[in-house]
A and B are shown apart, each in its own frame.
Chain A
Amino acid sequence: MQLVVVADAAVVPELPAVARSVAGRDEAVEAVTFAGVEVPAGDLARELGGHGVARLHVVRHELLDDYAPEAWGSALATLIDRLGPSGVLAPATHRGTEILTHAAARAGLPLATNCVRLTADDASGHGGAGDGTWRLTRTRSGGVLLEDAELTAPVRLATVAAAVETPQVPLQAADCEVVESAVDVPPELARTRVAERVASETGLSLSTAPVVVSGGRGVGGADGFVVLEELAERLGGVVGCSRVATNNGWRPHRDQVGLTGTKIAADLYIACGISGATQHWVGCMDSAVILAINTDPEAPMMQRATYAVEGDVHEVVPAVLAEIRRRGGAAAAAGSDRSAAEESEPAAAPPVG
């Protein structure tokens, strides 16, 4: 049997396909989830069935009602022991990785995390008793490198990254049966239950802000950062800067992005007048989208960014702000129209039962 772990509120659709591809001819693909997962088991089962999963085990224990890494990991280890799968796959999300790591440690099994490719070694006679081997590829160093590896164990455990190569396997939709499984969880594992949940901080920091508007040599001075601050505020972000800017005293050191400052991974990084020397680049390269504004089209930042605007920061940024204001005005106007329309809607709609 191959077991797929549903750790979060959604099914990762690639997992059943990968599980099927490494499964032996006679092996079933089943799934496991926890009572604390917020989506009703029935909904999960329907979805899993669509991916050919025959059975969904829901583990129950009072310590599993809210997230508790040790308790969930312990429960999973118990289930693995009970069901005897030859492989267990979890999504490489924070929770998926955490649970499977705990389970691996408890079961005394190796684990391969962040896999982007998985195949079963036919020669190893998987599905039967004894050790089998998976050949796999996993990411290292934040994805700069790929590692080819072999995982050999009586039960192979792996977490699967979203970027996994999805194998082309024939899928047979199944009626997924929900099976409740009560497990024992050592009571002391209550120690790592989530004690409280706190709403996201409103104050943004450079390392966590979704948007960073950063300025360098091309900003020209401390005063030049005023427009960057305005843009950052508009986009719900913060201002960063390059080493040149801190060295010139234009910004405090805490604003510095780069090797000697903060390394960030924003959704959007806007590099204004920053040439993009590696010293700076390594600090911002993990951002999802990078927009570079620079007078020099040959500057490294302009080559490596996702988007590039050739021009002076002090022309481009004010123009962008003006454009945002222009559209914002238009959108606000359109938005008020729409809300007016929605307000009138309920009266016309039938009551929802």
Chain B
Amino acid sequence: MDIVVCIKRVPAFGAQVPLTDDGSAVDTRHLGFTIGPHEECAVEEAVRLTAKYGGRVTVLTVGPQDAGEQLRYALAMGAHQGVLVDTGTTELDPEATATAVLAGLADEPDPDLLLFGDASADAGHGQVGVRVALARGLPVVGGITGLDAENGSTDGNGDAAGNGAVSLRASRDTPDGTEVFRLPVPAVVAVKEGLNLPRYPTLPGRLKAKKAALRTVACDPEPGGLHTVGLRRPADDRAGAIPLGRGADAAPAVVDVLAELGKV
């Protein structure tokens, strides 16, 4: 089963996000970058599925050259190859991002499974997977927290995808319970954190990833209809903790709160 995982380079910040003076962007001078947690789960799932059923994992990102760092992180987790769609440092809207992803996929062999995170950790539009799926005529489901292949060959020789009987069992949590989908492959799935516990890259993995060559595709997609004007922080209305007392004497007040929350 060949899998492409789309990931995004996002700033890793603390409780307060520093912004540039003009408010146009996050001030990343002192921030590190990471892959969002949903996408980390996507990489993990891809690595596990290919370990189980064979096949290769390609990680694809859309962004600046520096996003190679995130591709290498995914490679260190066990992905096999990386594609960087270089769109420069300006953030793209969801339509343009989908165009860029499609450009990156154009020269790749058709994968059996295209994985996305449910939404990026920064912009959080949550649309790219659906737009890409539609453009490629593939089925798509999102919010997935459980995923496996069914009826597939498990001999690990990589031809699970070639077997027409293969389908995916994808499940997701809803307020009422769990919804399960059965999808034919090829398909697009957007996953959520909780799907698995992503591994940390191993030391040998990091060293291997450092040396790996990345395929770079240049792309300058047309902007879509959603245009970011600026960013700002919401007004800080954190009231500070409500003291419930000291020591054992606080117990009644604590249980009052638990009762109010419907927990006892």
Residues on A facing B (Cβ under 8 Å): 67, 69-70, 73, 94, 97-98, 101-102, 104-106, 109-114, 131, 135, 139-153, 191-201, 205, 207-208, 211, 234-236, 254, 262-263, 267-268, 278, 281-282, 285, 289, 291-292, 302-312, 315-316, 318-320, 322-324, 327-328
Q: Are A101 and B122 in contact (CB under 8 A)?
A: no
Q: Which of A111, A208, A262, A327 gathers most chain B CB within 10 Å?
A: A111
Per CB-CB distance, the 3 closest pairs between chain A and chain B, nearest first, are: A110-B225, A319-B248, A319-B251
Q: Are B194 and A207 in contact (CB under 8 A)?
A: yes
Q: Are B180 and A153 in contact (CB under 8 A)?
A: no
Per the bound structure, the CA–CA distance linking A114 and B226 in Å amounts to 13
| Known contacts A148-B229, A307-B257, A318-B248; 16 further A-B pairs (Cβ under 8 A) | A111-B125, A112-B226, A131-B225, A135-B229, A141-B17, A141-B122, A142-B121, A197-B177, A278-B15, A281-B15, A304-B238, A307-B243, A308-B241, A311-B250, A316-B250, A324-B258
Whole-angstrom distance from the CB of A286 to the nearest CB of chain B? 11
Q: Are A311 and B263 in contact (CB under 8 A)?
A: no
CB of B171 within 8 A of chain A? yes
Q: Are A191 and B183 in contact (CB under 8 A)?
A: yes
Which A residues lie within 8 Å of B253 (CB)?
A: 309
Residue in chain B with minimal CB distance to A198: B178
Per the bound structure, the CA–CA distance linking A282 and B34 in Å amounts to 14
Which A residues lie within 8 Å of B112 (CB)?
A: none
A308-B226 contact given A140-B124, A327-B264, CB 8 Å threshold = no
Per the bound structure, the CA–CA distance linking A97 and B126 in Å amounts to 9
Which B residues lie within 8 Å of A278 (CB)?
A: 14-15
Residue in chain B with minimal CB distance to A131: B225
Q: Are B255 and A110 in contact (CB under 8 A)?
A: no
Whole-angstrom distance from the CB of B159 to the nearest CB of chain A? 22
Which B residues lie within 8 Å of A192 (CB)?
A: 139-141, 181, 183
Which A residues lie within 8 Å of B69 (CB)?
A: none
Whole-angstrom distance from the CB of A74 to the nearest CB of chain B? 10
Which B residues lie within 8 Å of A311 (CB)?
A: 246-248, 250
- Interface readout for B173-196 with A: 1 if CB under 8 Å, 0 if not? 110111111111000000001100
Question: Is the contact region of chain B dominated by helix, strand, or loop, or is it mixed?
Answer: mixed
Binds A, one of B47-55, B127-135, B202-210: B127-135
Which A residues lie within 8 Å of B232 (CB)?
A: 145-146, 148
CB of B228 within 8 A of chain A? yes
- Interface readout for B192-236 with A: 1 if CB under 8 Å, 0 if not? 011001000000000000000000000000001111111111100
Question: Is the contact region of chain A dominated by helix, strand, or loop, or is it mixed?
Answer: mixed
Task: Tell which of A102, A292, A315 touches B241, judged by Cβ atoms closer than 8 Å.
Answer: A292
Q: Are B224 and A110 in contact (CB under 8 A)?
A: yes
Per the bound structure, the CA–CA distance linking A74 and B240 in Å amounts to 47
Q: Which of B93, B228, B229, B250 gathers most chain A CB within 10 Å?
A: B250
Q: Are A305 and B241 in contact (CB under 8 A)?
A: yes
A262-B197 contact given A110-B95, A268-B261, CB 8 Å threshold = yes
On chain B, the number of residues with a Cβ less than 8 Å from chain A's Cβ atoms is: 75
Which A residues lie within 8 Å of B261 (CB)?
A: 267-268, 289
Per the bound structure, the CA–CA distance linking A259 and B93 in Å amounts to 29
Which B residues lie within 8 Å of A263 (CB)?
A: 37, 193
Chain A to chain B contacts (Cβ below 8 Å), 19 pairs = A69-B141, A98-B143, A101-B127, A141-B124, A144-B13, A144-B233, A146-B231, A148-B228, A191-B139, A192-B139, A192-B183, A193-B181, A194-B181, A207-B193, A268-B261, A307-B257, A312-B247, A323-B254, A324-B264
A303-B240 contact given A195-B182, A236-B263, A311-B248, CB 8 Å threshold = yes
Per the bound structure, the CA–CA distance linking A102 and B123 in Å amounts to 19
Which A residues lie within 8 Å of B249 (CB)?
A: 319
Q: Are B140 and A70 in contact (CB under 8 A)?
A: yes
Which A residues lie within 8 Å of B234 (CB)?
A: 143-146
Per the bound structure, the CA–CA distance linking A113 and B130 in Å amounts to 14
CB of B156 within 8 A of chain A? no
Q: Are B181 and A235 in contact (CB under 8 A)?
A: no
Per the bound structure, the CA–CA distance linking A306 and B243 in Å amounts to 9
Q: Are B15 and A191 in contact (CB under 8 A)?
A: no
Whole-angstrom distance from the CB of B184 to the nearest CB of chain A? 6
Whole-angstrom distance from the CB of B46 to the nearest CB of chain A? 19
Residue in chain B with minimal CB distance to A285: B15
CB of B94 within 8 A of chain A? yes
Which B residues lie within 8 Å of A105 (CB)?
A: 127, 130-131, 133-134
Q: Are B17 and A145 in contact (CB under 8 A)?
A: yes
Whole-angstrom distance from the CB of A79 to the nearest CB of chain B? 17
Residue in chain B with minimal CB distance to A102: B130
CB of B162 within 8 A of chain A? no
Q: Are B227 and A152 in contact (CB under 8 A)?
A: yes
Per the bound structure, the CA–CA distance linking A275 and B93 in Å amounts to 40
Which A residues lie within 8 Å of B233 (CB)?
A: 144-146
Whole-angstrom distance from the CB of A49 to the nearest CB of chain B? 26
Whole-angstrom distance from the CB of B16 to the nearest CB of chain A? 8
Q: Are A254 and B197 in contact (CB under 8 A)?
A: yes
CB of B63 within 8 A of chain A? no
Task: Tell which of B14, B26, B251 touches A320, judged by Cβ atoms closer than 8 Å.
Answer: B251
The B101-134 residues at the A interface (CB cut-off 8 A) are 121-127, 130-131, 133-134
The B4-19 residues at the A interface (CB cut-off 8 A) are 13-17
Whole-angstrom distance from the CB of A159 to the nearest CB of chain B? 9
The B83-101 residues at the A interface (CB cut-off 8 A) are 93-95
Q: Are B141 and A308 in contact (CB under 8 A)?
A: no
Residue in chain A with minimal CB distance to B262: A267
